[in-house]
Amino acid sequence: MQTIVEDAHAGVVSPELVIDALFACRKTAAIRAAIELDLFTHIGEGKTAALLASVTGASERGIRILCDYLVVHGFLTKESGQYRVTPSTKMFLDRNSPAYMGSAVEFVAAPEILDNFLRDPAAVVRNGGSVGLANISADNPVWLKFARGMGSFTGLSAKILAGEICGWAKHPKKVLDIAAGPGFFGIEIAKGLPSAEIVAVDWTAVLELSRQNAVNAGVSDRYQTIAGSAFDVEWGTGYDLVLLPNFLHHFDLPTCAKLLRKIVASLAKDGRIVAVDFVPNENGVSPPFPASFSWEMLASTPAGQAYTQSELTEMAGLAGLAGVTVAAMPPTPASLILFE
């Protein structure tokens, strides 16, 4: 083996990536443990290793080993035995930071989600999909946990979307927010447009969270909710704007087209449909996050995926729409999709 390695182009052949992938779950476990113990917040306050153990109720040995691991992987630094947060972990994993994304762990690294990937990943590929989340009933409280965890990812794209909508010549008055989750997309629009009324659709348990977030944002007097599946509930007509934030990727193309037809029927004159989603390039392998996202959906849904612009165009056509305009939403990996 050594000889072969040496024969190959220097620096090109290495088991590093393979070993990183084989061991990658250790990293997820470490970051989950650190977030659950609120380690980055405590270290940000300058606590020593001994104090960290006492304040988190953890063993000193456990804290030392976890922190050393986090140093190796770039999440902390260590000098003379004192751990410190990095600028990035201070920003994103210190609970006092407005950019805190630690709660994402409740969704992205939840046991129910990881099980979709790790139970039998080869079977997911063989079957071309997974029962995954479709197996979880509408009233399962896990959806609330997921929606809460999702919030740390969607907050910024919701602000960007609202900025875009507020720039439109004609401000939408009646807005439908489909599969609202934590509700930030509709809520940000309500904050930006004082005349906008939001109707949010999602499972009952999740709507508790979006309603609470609407109260916190001071827009609850213009915030209504309808509980149920977007495919089944009656949400009425006259909408100037219908939002589909991070929703289409859960379903196959014909199902998305069917939903779009239902939405078209509920639009006011000149009403618009806007989706926020991950849109890979036509080659399917860039940019990294959107292109990786179909694997996320393969393992989590029966037939979902991230759609390219040409697939979204086909979807629009099946729904009787003219096409789509896709615009990136930096620094998020999401795109704004305007159905024409």
- Footprint (CB under 8 A) of a second copy, residues 125-144: 125-129
Residues 177-216 interacting with a second copy (rule: CB under 8 A) = none
Amino acid at 328: A
DSSP secondary structure string for all residues of 231-280: TT----S-EEEEEEET-GGGS-HHHHHHHHHHHHTTEEEEEEEEEEE---
Q: Are strands 76-79 and 82-85 parallel, antiparallel or unpaired?
A: antiparallel
Structure tokens at 93: 């994993």
- Measured from the CB atom, is 13 or 138 closer to a second copy? 13
For residue 156, the cross-strand partners are none
Residue from 43, 108, 187, 256 in contact with a second copy (CB under 8 A)? 108
Among the residue ranges 68-76, 132-140, 172-180, 236-244, the one whose residues contact a second copy (CB under 8 A): 68-76
Residue from 42, 44, 66, 187 in contact with a second copy (CB under 8 A)? 66
Task: Note whether 233 binds a second copy by CB under 8 A.
Answer: no
Residue from 46, 50, 54, 73 in contact with a second copy (CB under 8 A)? 73
Confirm if 204 and 233 have CB atoms less than 8 A apart.
Answer: no
- Measured from the CB atom, is 184 or 203 closer to a second copy? 184
d(CA 282, CA 129): 21
Print the binding letters for residues 234-273 with a second copy: x by CB under 8 A, - otherwise.
----------------------------------------
Residues 2-61 interacting with a second copy (rule: CB under 8 A) = 2, 4-5, 8-9, 12-33, 36-37, 56-61
User: CA angle 152-115-244, nearest 5°?
Assistant: 40
Please identify which residue in the block is written with the tokens 């439109």.
168
Q: How many residues sit in the footprint of a second copy (CB under 8 A)? A: 96
Residue from 1, 10, 169, 265 in contact with a second copy (CB under 8 A)? 1
Task: Note whether 312 binds a second copy by CB under 8 A.
Answer: no
| Rg of the chain over all Cα atoms, to the nearest angstrom | 22
Classified as helix, coil or strand, 31 is helix
Task: Note whether 301 binds a second copy by CB under 8 A.
Answer: no
d(CA 178, CA 211): 14
Tell me which DSSP letter residue 175 carries.
E
Among the residue ranges 83-91, 138-146, 165-173, 185-193, the one whose residues contact a second copy (CB under 8 A): 83-91
Residue from 43, 144, 248, 298 in contact with a second copy (CB under 8 A)? 298
Task: Note whether 282 binds a second copy by CB under 8 A.
Answer: no
Q: Cβ of residue 29: shortest distance to a second copy, in angstroms? A: 4
Structure tokens at 30: 């470490």
Residue from 54, 95, 99, 320 in contact with a second copy (CB under 8 A)? 99
Angle formed by the axes of helices 111-118 and 16-36, nearest 10°: 160
